[in-house]
Amino acid sequence: MSENPVQQMLDRCGVPWRSSQEFLRAGGRAFADPTGTGLEMIAVDGQPVTGLLHPLHFASAPDDDPALPPLLLCGYAVKAGDGSALGSLAAATADLSEHLGAPEPFDGANTRGWRWAHGPSSVELICFPPPLDADMAETRQGWEDDRLADATWLNIETGYRPALDPAEAADVEAFVPAHDLPNIIPPEEAFTSRPQQHVLEYVREPSAAAARMTGRIGRSRDGGTILFVTDQLYLVPAGEVLQIRVDRVRPGRGSGFAVASLVCRSRRLGAEKTISLAYCGATDGLDAFGPRVAVWLGCPCELRPCEADY
């Protein structure tokens, strides 16, 4: 049983947030995105709020691993008999507050909303109330469901991360750092950021031992896996690493910066995946780091031409 309040709510409401995309797709409930994007939406069971216009759903991207769950679930809810966006927002907020407690304001320039965040999981509600939605008229023309104008829009980031298997957990326990990873994320934010769907196959739920790996990279005991912690605990098969890439940006509107990334090719999908490794607030700040880590990995390093910071 998860200790995360958002994940506990999903369990209580019967939302299969741990089920793979291929399993959910096999359920056969697909429908067109009611906002008119043309994307195919896959329906998901469960009802964390009342008044859903359509089932909870997700959309797949070509480089998603179908053997893993979708991280973002969406929905639209309307308060029956109210006919207003703010009324729908209030009703859905009351439903979710029973599970998650008081939310934080989540207002935008033309939206009103609320947000609950717990570690890598979050729930967001937004609506487009008049007169704030004056610039939405053209956008609404593409909507296939007119009721969306009076709905609150629900986004659930489940925060799912695959569990460490016993061998992986032992590698984390035995971790010996080989290099520090400069300033990619504040240590206190490690493990609380939401995982990214396109690299989820390399992410793991961190154990207590992973805390000492923050901002460091090393190898597994047999050398076959690269382990590091930035915003997540990552385990990447060494054989899937293609190169280190360093993107460099000259000062312009900003002060300039550099980002080093690990570029991999997934054996399961054949797709190229990129994971950020390090950040520096100077254009040439990672010029030495990139080649040094590439030598350790036994792969090439691409120092990209400097680009302007527009």
List the Cα angle 43/48/50 in 5-degree steps.
Answer: 95
81: left (phi over 0), alpha (psi -120 to 50) or beta: left
pLDDT category of residue 109 using cuts at 50, 70 and 90: confident
**Cβ-based neighbour number of residue 46 at 10 Å:** 19
pLDDT > 70? residue 165: yes
Domains with residue ranges and CATH for the chain: 5-157 (no CATH), 166-308 (2.30.29)
pTM for this structure? 0.91
pLDDT digits (tens, 9 = 90+) for 210-232: 999 999 999 999 999 999 999 99
In sequence order, what are the beta bridge partners of 65? Answer: none
Please state, rounded to an integer, the average pLDDT across all residues of the chain: 91
| C-alpha to C-alpha distance for 204 and 191, rounded to whole angstroms | 10
Sequential DSSP letters for 172-193: HHT----EE-TTSS-GGGTTTS
pLDDT > 70? residue 142: no
pLDDT category of residue 132 using cuts at 50, 70 and 90: low
Q: Residue 195 carries which DSSP code? A: P
